[in-house]
Amino acid sequence: MARIPLLFALSAALTLSETTFAQTGFVPENKAALAARRWRGQHERAIVDEFLGLLSIPNIAGDRANIQRNAETIAKMMGQRGVPARLVTVPGSNPIVFGEIKAPGATRTLVFYAHYDGQPLDPKEWATPPFTPTLRNGALERDGQTVPLPPPGTPFNPEWRVYARGAADDKAPIIAMMTALDAIRAAGLRTQSNIKFAFEGEEEAGSANLEKILAANKDLFAGDLWLMCDGPVHQTRRQLIAFGARGATRVDITVYGPRGELHSGHYGNWAPNPALLLARLLASMKDDNGRVLVEHFYDDVEPLSDLEKRAIAEAPSIDEDLMKEFWLGSTDGGAAKLTELITLPSLNIRGMASSRIGAQASNVIPSTASATMDVRLVKGMDPRRTAERVIDHVRKQGFHVVDSEPSAAVRMAHPKVAMIPRPDGIAATRTPMDLPISQEVIRTVESARGPTVKIPNMGGGLPLTSIERPLGTRTIVIPMGNHDNNQHSYNENLRLQNLWDGIELMAALLTM
């Protein structure tokens, strides 16, 4: 990822909105959330110790040995709380850690989802080792310094942060759920629904086996609603509820020039430059306002309901503050705000490469130029059909498209050749906000966390379709991380107050 200094200096307006919300002294109406607040206040050091222990186990999806350690550790944590746990797999997959609490007389089942694997990383980019959890007295971008753990019985400053891979994405919800179980049981409270836990071990690797595991174990994972505990809360620090997530498909493009690099003096103005060809091709895909120009790109978008449109209109607007935060002089989308734009599909260039740059640059015409794009999909869009429309656009720009490395004969037979491997992807889904279960989730969350921001779908992706399709269930996203958590990048972190809030939130939802 690009080295963007995240949240180094908040604008006065954003600081005010965060401080105002943080200092309102909101007292939950929900008795389970109140019980969780009391429990947490008495056991902060033990909670953090358990969190740091889990974070110290490396969790890159391809590291099978440590993934197994993570799964076994989580299963042990559940067993210590009287929740029978098992590891569920299919050949070649990482385990899903499954647990279940049966409530006498319950007529429905709620499934709580989180994932314990994390994004790949380069340790050299981190200020401290990614699997040596480090406590800081503030955000690193705002000169947060490392601090020791306070003595047992001493409260933590809620603005302190834990730095480690997986701190926010996505081990914190697992700790919040386990702590919430401790709290409600200590208070003599019981779950009203049957509860299941499903903790995935390869979400950051694309959830390649999730649907296979669920389809092979339908009865085990069946539930009326899956609560997806992943992602950040709103930028104002208000709790967020997302009723869906965007899907995605990836498109890789390579265009060709000469067989090998040529001297730019001897062959410039004669041999076509693939970097320039690629730049023109990519520029043809969007207008100056960010609208995608691929023909029929928006045709299948399912319109938002009136309730969803109203939720977007009511969501706080912080676009100006974020522009200052990210050093942006303009934004795409015209006058539309971020909350609205993430309900639309997007086409993004992840990265481009052609020969070398800077001190390593040579006076050459490159041989190839490549780009990787992601297309964020919304409900109604088919991943393969959308990718084919992008490929059709490439053809209309005069390119002969192949799906594997072209031969010399192919390259010489066509003025412009583009290789685009056959793309795949995952579709988007959205749970209607007006369903009775949706409204109950809203009431429960607001009884624990106060006024919430409700959006039709989050901007990022989650494997919602891979859950809904085999099980015939619904999904709702309940995030708890701080929005400036650096997820998927170096120096990932979790603000402790977000963990405290998450414990109360999970307690309320577990007893819903």
Write down all domains in the chain, each with its CATH number in brackets. 12-245+429-510 (3.40.630.10), 247-301+344-426 (3.30.70.360)
| DSSP string computed for 312-375 | HHHSPP-HHHHHHHHT-S--SSTT--HHHHTTS-EEEEEEEE-S--GGG--SEE-SEEEEEEEE
Dump pLDDT digits (tens) for 134-168: 999 999 999 999 999 999 889 999 999 999 999 99
Supply 376's token pair: 């964020």
pTM: 0.89
Which residues of the chain, if any, have pLDDT below 50?
Answer: 1-24
At residue 12, the pLDDT reads 33
CA distances (Å), 99 to each of 153, 492, 504, in order? 31, 28, 20
Specify the residue for token string 């001493």: 154
Among 353, 350, 356, residue whose Cα is nearest residue 370? 353
At residue 263, the pLDDT reads 97
At residue 20, the pLDDT reads 32
Half-sphere exposure of 272 (CA within 13 A, CB side): 17
Half-sphere exposure of 253 (CA within 13 A, CB side): 32
Among 238, 182, 199, 171, residue whose Cα is nearest residue 32? 182
What whole-number distance in Å separates Cα of residue 349 and Cα of residue 390?
13
At residue 325, the pLDDT reads 85
What whole-number distance in Å separates Cα of residue 408 and Cα of residue 392?
23
At residue 15, the pLDDT reads 37
Q: Provide the residue type at 128 as one letter.
A: T
481 near 231, Cβ under 8 Å? Answer: yes
At residue 8, the pLDDT reads 32
What whole-number distance in Å separates Cα of residue 438 and Cα of residue 100?
22
At residue 451, the pLDDT reads 94
If DSSP codes are grouped into helix, strand and coil, which group holds residue 211?
helix
At residue 334, the pLDDT reads 85
